Each structure stands twice: as structure tokens, then as C-alpha cells.
Amino acid sequence: MSNPFFAEWDTPFGIPPFDQIKEEHFSHAFDQAFGDHDAEVEAIVENKEAATFENTIEALERTGTLLDKVSGVFFNLTSSNSTDDLQAIELEVVPRFAAHSSRMFNNQGLFGRVKSVYESRDDQPLDADQVQLLADTYTNFVRAGAALSDDSRSKVQALDEELAGLTTQFGQNILKDTNNFELVLDSAEEAKGLPESVLQAALGEGEQRGKSGKYVFTISRSSITPFLQFAEKRDLREKIYKAYTQCGNNDNEHNNHQILKTIAALRARRSRLLGFESHAHYMLDDRMAKTPENVTDLLDKIWSPTRKKVAIEAEDLQSRIQEEGGNFKLCSWDWWYYTEKIRAERYSLNEEQVKQYFKLENVRDGAFDVATRLYGITFEEVTDIPRYHPDVVGYEVKDADGTLIGLFLVDYFMRPSKRGGAWMNEFRGQSNLEESIRPIVVNCCNFPKADPCLLGMDEVRTLFHEFGHGLHGLLSQVRYRSQSGTNVKQDFVELPSQIMEHWAIEPEVMKSYARHVETGEVIPDEIIEKLLESQTFNQGFATTEYLAASYLDMAWHTLVSDEDQDEEQDVESFEEKALQQIDLIDAVEPRYKSSYFQHIFSGDHYSAGYYSYIWAEVLDADGFEAFKEKGIFDAETARSFRENVLERGGTSDPMELYKQFRGREPEVEPLLKNRGLA
């Protein structure tokens, strides 16, 4: 059959021809791509010349072109526009991917050449990015088990393949369980208290799900959060909240409990084979944090003031319940509702009125304008490109001198075929090895599809956050693909995204994009002042639920042996024990419970790594102080951040990159101040 993956893509910007790519093309394309990559690797191994950086390390960078091409499309689609057929292919392909990767990293002939180059590194005239690439390549082989005995390598490979299948199944179960739940209301009276914009979004969701005229609410964050904030019926708030916290833990074929226990046990076993005490020790050894003790130390420093603040917040909410005649104890599904009441009164803020100033398109343009003012780059919509879904909008991104930077895609609306959350990804990464390859970057969110789509402040921050990741990918200027954009240490990757959130709430910026959806009126100063005053409101809760999830992540991944995990012990008991150790108050749950904790169980990347958001927040809070000291659009500060962070990718140690930008290591005080904890 004619397979578009086997031809050059004659499309604008070289974007994948989504209109030509069919689901049946993927299996054939993966077969060819795996075979091609094996042959390319074998050619390096069989090279009779002595191993050098050019014929071994750099040669490796040139391999896998077809595999990158196919997987770039496939894994973007399985996240953002999946189908049953794609999910079936994914379950088959992901373990093959793991086996393929293990086979390459455990190829003793290839490892011998890599090791030879690494051990003679001081005798070679290498540039700084090449020194880093060589060190990372050698480390990746060792961490994959290349230096182990034949028997141990074989065991690691088998574990990698099994884990790949389990983590894929974990994520698919969450998508299916999420789509299984609907809270369907027949009338606005049942949804008493909900703002008109929320009701309209629920009607739109009903239309998409074949329930015309019904109000449909889901456990997607953009649906459940406003419901918990405004729905007066406590029993309905409890119902949807429990559905959210039970995702992946229902009496059906999508229950994740046994899967996640097996994942944790297999990770512990693999880490011991690789010479590490636990999976957390293994993962953190290659991150900025280095050890679980360093992570716990940071979490503990923030947890102490957080516990005091969240206890005060809980007392305020309980008092409000009693003032209204409520004869019940504050529960998790009450928190958003009574917090919103107190927020509205204390700061005279009405969430629904505030949202009128945050039309999605205006917020998006506001983020673009920030990038233009900081870095001189521009965004121009392009309409003549193939799209994988009608909701996708594309932008040609150019530098101040008119040079093409790349293509930026946005896919903002939620739908059943898209996994929950928000993320940045690439269809093609940047590199300059043999030719200038410009990136194709995508931002995905799950905003309610309504006309107009009005965002709450959390969603405004989400858009700016993912745009920060997008800039990291777009502005990359590196030689080697494996070092480009967001290919950095996992606990450094959130710096560019989180620092962008600061501009979203700066008065000067907000007044440039926040305009009333009907009148066009610029957001009044008094509303901006109230929003800023309320920044630390409810931060005890927000920090508590985040830290609780981080501690839970570390609990699962500091297991040192299979015996630590009693197969008869249920997941709830494990969670309860872990959260008792930090004395978590009853009215707050972790942001993610184990059965739907995709960050840590749907793939390896964030496992033992959920702490990285707060780790990076130390960096972004301290880093934004540099902008505030000289002006939030100071040209020299922006140039330094672009050149030392955004353009450099993984070409150097991340702390060194940060110090080149800031002039020193970060301090924790700005974070505590921003969260109202100091």
C-alpha cells in the first residue's frame, strides 16, 4: 500500500499530511522504522575504524529518522485524538518500542564504542555541547544496563518491556474510565448556583455526547472545577468529586490498582539490578535533585508552613458552614464551594464576572504579545495546513529579523478522544546538525468548547504555562536533536513554563489582553488589584494537595524490595499510611490519587518526579525576580533568559545554565513569599 510515511512530505512547513495518514499505515511504518534503525545502528558497530565522536556519538544522532517521524505523529494522536484502533496499536507498539530501545542500549558492540570514546574524551577537541552529549550518551547506556552481566541485562530488558505495556494500559484505563462517567442534569434548577457560562458549556458537552438539551458534566478539570465551586446541591458535588477521585478504582475492567502495584514492584526490582537502592534513587541520580533525601528536604521545608496555613483555611471554611446553619463537617467536596464564597466576599470577586474578561482568543493573543515584547518573535495564523482535528489552529512563528522559527499548533478544547490535562509536544524537534530543521510544536489543553470560551484564572495560567513549554521548543538553537528544546533534566523542564505564568497576572500585561467579552472594556484596575490581593488566598490548600501528591509519589518509588509491597495490601491502605506520615488533614485529598496519577504511572518520565513542579518553582520565582528588578520586559534580561535557557536545551548542566542567566544559584524565599507561606 502507499504509505505517506515513506515519502517526503510536500506540505507547508513539512507538517504531517494528516489527511493522507490512515490508522492502518502505522503498523507497517513502525515495522520499517524499527528495521531501518537497527540497520543504522549495526552499521556503526561494524565500522572498522577506531571509535571517535564523529563516527559513533554523532553517527548515533543521525539514526532513527523514520522512527522519529512515525512516532512523532503516532504518540501525538494517541494523546490528543485517539480511537479504539489507535489504542490497540499503542498496546502492541509500546512494548516493541521498549524492546527496541533496550536492544540498542544493550548492544555490547555499540556500548564498547561509546565507552571507548567516553574514556578518551580528554584527548579529543570537543565543543561544550559535544562534551555534554558524550557524557549523556554514555550515562544513558549505563543506566539502561549496558555495563551489567549478560543475565542482568536480559532481566532489565524484560522488565522494560513489561513496564511499557503496563504503563500504557494504565493511561488507557484512565481515558476510558473518565469517558464512562457523566453527570447528566435535565434542568438548570438541578444545577442551581452554576453560572450561565458553565451551564452553556455543559449543554455543549451534552450535544457532543448525543444528549441534546441535557446538562452534562464530566470529571475533566474544566468541567468538575466550576461545578465544585458553584453547585449548591451538596449531594451532587459529592457525587462528581467521588467519581473523580475513584477514577481507575471502580469495579470494572479499567481498575488500575493491580497494574500500579505491579509497576511499582517492577520498577523497584529494575532499580536494584541497576545498582540503585530504589526507583527514586535511580531516577533522581540523573536529575538536578540527585537524591530522594534532597527532594524530601525541599518538600519538608515547604510542608511545615503549609500545614499551618491550610489548618487556618479549614477553620475558616468550617465556620462559614456553621454560620449558614450547616450541621456537617467540612469534606473535600465542600472545599471549592465555600472557598469561592469567602473569596467573593473577602475580595469582592465574582468568578463569573471575572471570566467575562478572559476570552480564550484574547488570552492566547496576550501570551503571543508577551513573547513578542520579550523576544521580538511574531505569530501569524496559517490556514493552508493539514490538521489532525478541526479544532487545531496553526501559527507561523518568525524572529525579529523575519527568519522562520517554526510552526506552532494550538489544540485547546476538550473532547472524549483527548486525554485529560494540558501539555506541550512536538511533531518535529529542532536541530542544526546537517541542515536547519525547524520545530513543529503543539500545545494541548482541555478547555470547555463554548462560544465564547471564557477562562477562569487557573485556566489562564494553564495557557501561559503550556505556552512557556512551547517557547522552549520553538526557540531552541542547538546542533543535536537529542539536546533540543525540552530535552533537559526532568526537574528543569518546568522553569520556562512556570516563569511564563508570572506575566499572565502582571497588571501591565493583563490590561493588554483582558477585555470584556461583550463591551470590549479593558479590565478595571480594581479587579486587577483584587486578583493580585487574592493570589495567596487558598494557597494552603493548593500547596497541600500538590505536596501530598508529591509525597505519595515518593512513597511508591522509595520501595526498596518486593517485600516492601504486600500483594495483599490494597492501594487505599498504602495511600493512607503514606499520608498519615505527613499528617494530612482529612478535608484535603492529594491532587492525584494513585489510580489516576498519570504523571507517575503512565510512563516513566515523571515517576519519582512530581516534586519537580515545586523544584522548578524555586527557580521560576527567583528568576522572575530578575525581571522585576529591571522591568518585566527588560531587553537585556530577556536576551539573557533566551540565550542561556530557552535556546540551550540540554547542552549543559541546568544549574550552570540558570547561574549564567541569574548570576547565582536560586533562593527559596521568593517561592514562599509568592505562596503566602512566609
What are residue 404's DSSP bridge partners?
A: 398
Place of cell 457532543: 208
Specify the range with the lowest mean pLDDT, choosing from 184-198, 215-229, 335-349, 557-571. 557-571
Nearest to 653 by CA among 280, 291, 287: 287
Asked if the bond preceding 452 is cis, omega within 30° of 0, the reply is yes
Check whether 565 has a pLDDT greater than 80.
Answer: no
Q: Which pLDDT score, from 0 to 100, does residue 351 have?
A: 84
DSSP-based three-state secondary structure for 50: coil
Nine-digit cell at 372? 513578542
Calculate Rg over the CA atoms of the chain.
25
Nine-digit cell at 91? 498496546
Nearest to 37 by CA among 69, 61, 67: 67
Check whether 561 has a pLDDT greater than 70.
Answer: no
Whether 400 and 547 have beta carbons less than 8 Å apart is answered as no
Long-range contacts of 379-385 (CB under 8 A, 24+ apart): 379/408, 382/12, 382/13, 382/407, 384/12, 385/11, 385/12, 385/13, 385/15
* Amino acid symbol at 521: E
Q: What is the mean pLDDT of residues 85-97?
A: 96
How many beta carbons lie within 10 A of that of residue 119, not counting itself? 11
In this structure, which topology does domain 4-105+107-143 adopt according to CATH?
A: Glutathione S-transferase Yfyf (Class Pi); Chain A, domain 2 (1.20.1050)
- Domain pair 4-105+107-143 / 360-486+495-514, same fold: no
Q: Which pLDDT score, from 0 to 100, does residue 434 have?
A: 86
Q: Which pLDDT score, from 0 to 100, does residue 273 have?
A: 96
Residue by residue, DSSP assigns 482-529 as: GGSTT-S-TTTTTHHHHHHHHHHT-HHHHHHH-B-TTT-PBPPHHHHH
For strands 393-398 and 404-413, give the pairing: antiparallel
For the segment 144-158, what is each residue's pLDDT rounded down to a tens digit? 999 999 999 999 999
As its CATH architecture, domain 360-486+495-514 has Orthogonal Bundle (1.10)
Domain range list for the chain: 4-105+107-143, 181-245, 360-486+495-514
Q: How far lies 431's CA from each of 61, 378, 428, 482, in Å? A: 10, 21, 10, 8
Q: What is the mean pLDDT of residues 232-252?
A: 97
Residue 268 to residue 564: CA distance in whole angstroms: 10
For the segment 610-663, what is each residue's pLDDT rounded down to a tens digit? 999 999 999 999 999 999 999 999 999 999 999 999 999 999 999 999 999 999
For the segment 536-550, what is each residue's pLDDT rounded down to a tens digit? 999 999 999 999 999
Whether 353 and 230 have beta carbons less than 8 Å apart is answered as no
Residue 437 to residue 405: CA distance in whole angstroms: 10
Q: Which pLDDT score, from 0 to 100, does residue 259 have?
A: 97
Q: Which pLDDT score, from 0 to 100, does residue 641 have?
A: 98
Residue 628 to residue 40: CA distance in whole angstroms: 50
User: Mean pLDDT in the chain?
Assistant: 95
**404-413: strand order across its sheet:** 378-382, 393-398, 404-413, 440-447, 423-428
Q: How far lies 103's CA from each of 61, 157, 266, 393, in Å? A: 17, 8, 19, 39
Local confidence band at 564 (pLDDT 50, 70, 90 cut-offs): low
Q: Which pLDDT score, from 0 to 100, does residue 282 have?
A: 97
Greatest pairwise CA separation for the chain in angstroms: 84
Whether 552 and 575 have beta carbons less than 8 Å apart is answered as yes
Local confidence band at 568 (pLDDT 50, 70, 90 cut-offs): low
Whether 456 and 253 have beta carbons less than 8 Å apart is answered as no
Local confidence band at 28 (pLDDT 50, 70, 90 cut-offs): very high
Local confidence band at 208 (pLDDT 50, 70, 90 cut-offs): confident
Nine-digit cell at 191? 444545577
Q: Which pLDDT score, from 0 to 100, does residue 349 have?
A: 86
Check whether 15 has a pLDDT greater than 80.
Answer: yes
Nearest to 115 by CA among 102, 134, 143: 134
Active-site residue list = 466
Q: What is the mean pLDDT of residues 101-115?
A: 96
Local confidence band at 603 (pLDDT 50, 70, 90 cut-offs): confident
Whether 528 and 507 have beta carbons less than 8 Å apart is answered as yes
Residue 479 to residue 647: CA distance in whole angstroms: 11
For the segment 576-601, what is each residue's pLDDT rounded down to a tens digit? 999 999 999 999 999 999 999 999 99
In sequence order, the 6+-apart residues with CB closer than 8 A to the CB of 149 are none
Q: What is the mean pLDDT of residues 56-72?
A: 97
Local confidence band at 400 (pLDDT 50, 70, 90 cut-offs): very high
Q: Which pLDDT score, from 0 to 100, does residue 221 have?
A: 86
Q: Which pLDDT score, from 0 to 100, does residue 562 have?
A: 57
Nearest to 76 by CA among 36, 35, 18, 122: 18
